[in-house]
Structure 1
């Protein structure tokens, strides 16, 4: 990482807290792309959905949430069949198993006749073959609760695709609706998962890549059933929710009619579904503040991270602000990104260099996907290539900034590729809680000798200080710039 190393040697370098309370999630919990971009783009720490839902459970207020009460009432008045769908783990990035357990208890208390669980296996934000632990925990909970049925299990690679790979979504959909998949029983489900773990080569299936396992045929989704999607993170729920709640983007001969769909949080502005935990859109994000001052801006990333430089960076706002242009560079069409670890870093860099040299945009921001996306594969050599390709791309942008007088800021929304192997020599596929770099490179720009613990919320105020702009009162972060440019 020559570019970052040079920045550190010039004294243009510090580190930022990108996990836990610094990004509005529980202390000690690793950061993620959603909360990271939200915190960077809004310049403040906002308690994220995970924390809000946890508080609702601990305060015993979950069961009285109006939309959840409505979901239970609807289920009872229609077929009496309620389905919970989502990622089941304690990764805390997209969902949490605690939330599912609390929802099941609330459904039982509300006397919903039948509840079925459609278990999306993790293995990405958790260890690759830890799914059996969560299946075991859920089965024990259902037994003690004496309520609820585990109906299907599918890996998130299929059920939670976000890259318009609709063939993946279709595989998950037809398991949920048609019961297409391998038949198992509650008693041999864990054994079947372990058998798939033990296969070799392309036949091996870890949690993330589990093809549908059908545990209970009666639990498939039928006409007029009620569905609750339990994930609190939006991006990987959109395709499967669209397929079940609106219209599939693929050919299928099985489309359940008259479904009542509820979501834990707002997955997309255009979705008409009731939301159990609606969130207030933060006022005066960096993008909104620049737009209000008629300052043109460009946001760019490849497909895998496009939602992060737009929706999440803008504080959950789907539409671009006036004067905000967006460019999406296609991600490579490969099964897993260790097969093309540089991804589209070069293409993103070209868009940034073009924008900088045009002089049209006083503010340009981008995301480089390779260190995160390839880090998730757990393939060390591929991660090295990914980081090197990203460093080369940043170097190209740095040269363009030096030629045109732009100030370059480099940071990350969370940790990942810096830890690819654990203490036992096993591959690591999840994020980390390590601090992330923050570099500022430009004439007259030096970093403060900070007296507080800097975090991602300090990035947007630093951008505004560099641009000579005032900071909106809603931004609670602090500028890290010693000498405004």
Structure 2
């Protein structure tokens, strides 16, 4: 497919002698100045110079601009990097699932019917992020499936909840538990049904690891969900309230995302372990944090950790499905309820077809964003003879304790690649605006922004040295709103924002050959055509238009 693609040279601009570098400052949005805005509170003279130049503007990074249903839907790294790399907008996770539920197509699928068949004779399990953040999941999707399963004759269902506190307020778990318990009670009121919450824990402590950064997270989740291993409580509500109280007694404000694993149990033991013949559905629609738990459930030869029970029991044989297929190349999972968007002809496909050498660099936490998501949800290289991907291992820590993360190491690696003279295009992701921003720690996020600024100065200097071009943007907002305030009480905001993101070009050889003239409603999908123009190519006809005009 790569060799069938072609880019025409730009008729009036041949590019610069040096490489084009795209810097994605993850989670760095544009919001009004104020004490809660870590981006503006931080001392960032080099970023300020970039974003205040004549070659700067702002881009939408949420809602329909990245394929999500409405302007109330926050952007996220997955859809942001999809749009950046593909140059077009595709219907994404929540939108796809919404349509499938509204049309009933999800319940007519062969996979759903298979899960229900298993559920009628055993138990149907649902595992996923328990919130309405609409980044990884939405509880309304869970509720629709629970109700439909009951209507189709399933009498036993267990829900394994992963507290959010990241895409929603940091201490909102009890509100979601209350609503879910109401739905379960309504279903059980018909009689002859046992639908219940069975286990849970914080998303950053169990189950939802990504990029193989912390497999012990997945193991803790698997053992809680499957074997009922974990601290026991009479209800999910009791578990969360107890852990909240214990955190505060220790002088620390609790955060849902880091709550430890728990198991709901009665006098007979855990109420929802997984057994042979059960059905298990992961209801997250976003892929990155659902791949590893999917592998743990469905791979026959899985060997990352032991899945045996506490007494040496074999891992249960289950009917497993994901909401979507989370990795289209690795085919994880094999069974899924809703087909993911088919993203073809990404910018990388075109560059490889033209023989352009490129690189992608980030640390583990965002490595898949500049590779897998950028390339249209495809693992591995498009052409390993032309591409170099570099993953710098992330530390397994709470990121407000190391606000620099690996930004300096990423910068050093990128500088070496640029100076090698082997590459015409490179992309990197600085993760700290997002990952530290998610902790809700304002001071740490301010420090993270200062480190990004320090490293941007180094990158700009190398681009000047090589007569290249640097493009700066972000995939969504986060660090730009760190808390909300009501009646004088500050509440940490750990979620993404609806803010636009910066876009700026640094071109040391700029002499007025082009100017920033964004189309109406510019968004992240307009970046790919712009990058291609800066490299001396015309963009494909169906790409969103360039942000620059000649």
TM-score, normalising length from structure 1?
0.94
Q: 2:275 aligns with which of 210, 213, 222?
A: 222
Alignment check: 8 A CA contact 2:202 2:259 kept? yes
- Relative to 1, partners in 2 of residues 1:451 and 1:312: Cα closer, same or farther, differing over 3 Å? closer
Q: 1:265 aligns with which of 324, 339, 343?
A: 324
**In 1, Cα distance between equivalents of 2:51 and 2:275:** 58
Residue equivalent to 2:348: 287
Post-superposition Cα deviations, 1:85-136, rounded to whole Å, max 9, x if no partner, equal: 1111000010000100011122112212321111111111111110001100
Question: Which deviates more, 247-256 or 399-408?
Answer: 247-256
Shift of 1:220: 0.6
1:438-477 equivalences under 5 Å are 438-442=503-507, 443-444=509-510, 446-475=514-543, 477=544
Which residue of 1 is the match for residue 49 of structure 2?
A: 6
- The answer to whether the 8 Å contact 1:287/1:324 transfers is no
Displacement of 1:449 in angstroms is: 2.9
Once the two structures are superposed, residues 387-429 of structure 1 have per-residue CA deviations (whole angstroms, 9 ceiling, x without a partner) of 1111111211111111101110000000011111212322111
Deviation at 1:471, TM superposition (A): 1.8
User: Secondary structure in 1 aligned to 2:548?
Assistant: coil
CA distance in 2, matches of 1:138, 1:295: 51
Backbone CA RMSD of aligned residues: 1.8
SS in 2 for 1:26: coil
In the TM superposition, what is the alpha-carbon distance from 1:250 to its structure 2 partner?
2.1
Picking from 69, 76, 81, the partner of 1:32 is 76
Q: Which has the higher helix share?
A: 1
The secondary structure found in structure 1 opposite 2:198 is strand
CA contact (8 A) 2:214 2:396 kept: no
Count, aligned residues: 477
Structure 1: 5+ residue runs without aligned partners? none
Q: Which residue of 2 aligns with 1:190?
A: 237
Alignment partners' CA distance in 2, 1:232 and 1:479: 30
Separation in 2, partners of 1:410, 1:298: 16
Measured in 2, the distance between the counterparts of 1:405 and 1:273 equals: 47
Distance 1:204 1:9, change over 3 A: closer
What runs of 5+ residues in structure 2 fail to find an aligned partner?
1-43
| 2:305 corresponds to which of 250, 267, 273 | 250
Relative to 1, partners in 2 of residues 1:266 and 1:272: Cα closer, same or farther, differing over 3 Å? closer
Report which structure shows greater RCO (CA 8 Å, sep ≥6). 2
Deviation of residue 251 (structure 1)? 3.7
Q: CA deviation at 1:280?
A: 4.4
Q: Distance in 2 between matches of 1:112 and 1:421?
A: 43
Q: 1:15-52 CA distances to partner (integer Å, 9 max, x unpaired)?
A: 00001110111222111110100011101111102011
- CA distance in 2: counterparts of 1:192 and 1:225, whole angstroms: 25
Partner of residue 14, structure 2: none
Question: 1:235 pairs with 279, 282, 288, which one?
Answer: 288
**1:204–1:451 Cα change, 3 Å:** closer
Query: Per the alignment, in what secondary structure is the counterpart of residue 37 of structure 1?
Result: helix
In structure 1, what is the equivalent of residue 258 of structure 2? 209
SS in 2 for 1:366: strand
